[in-house]
Structure 1
Amino acid sequence: MAAVSQQGTALGSLLVGFTAFVAGLVIHGGSGMVVAFAGLAFLLYAGYEFRKVKSA
C-alpha cells in the first residue's frame, strides 16, 4: 500500500509497465514492439516518480 498518492501513482505505473513490457515481448510482430515500448515508457516513468518521492 502507498503512504502518499504519488507512491500509489508510481506503483500503478510500475505494475502496468511491467505487465505491458512482458506482454509485448510475448506478442511477436509490430504490435508487440509497440506494447513493449509503451511498457518500457511506463517503467521509466515509475522509476522517475519513485525517485521524485524519495527526494521530497
Structure 2
Amino acid sequence: MNTPVRESLALQSLAARLEGQQARLPSSTRLPNRLTDAASMNQNITKLGLLIAEMG
C-alpha cells in the first residue's frame, strides 16, 4: 500500500527525471550553434515519452 509520503517521493523522483530529460531537448530560447543529430533527438524524445507514459 502506498502511503502519502511514498507517493510524494515517487512524484518528486519522476519530476526530477522529467526535468533532466527536458534539459537534453533543444529549446527555442537556447538556439544551438549546431544542429542536433536526428538519432540523438529521437532517443531523447523516446525517453521523454516513456517518462510521460509512466505518469499514466
TM-score, normalization: structure 2? 0.50
Mapped partners of 1:8, 1:42: distance in 2: 18
Q: How many residues align?
A: 46
Q: Which residue pairs with 2:16 in the alignment? A: 12
- Structure with more of its chain in helix, by fraction: 1
TM-score, normalization: structure 1? 0.50
> Stretches of 4+ moved more than 6 A in 1?
none
Task: Report percent identity of matched pairs.
Answer: 9
Structure 1: runs of 5 or more not aligned:
52-56
After TM superposition, give the deviation of residue 39 of structure 1 in Å: 1.4
Alpha-carbon RMSD across the aligned residues, in angstroms, is 2.8
Q: Which residue pairs with 2:44 in the alignment? A: 39
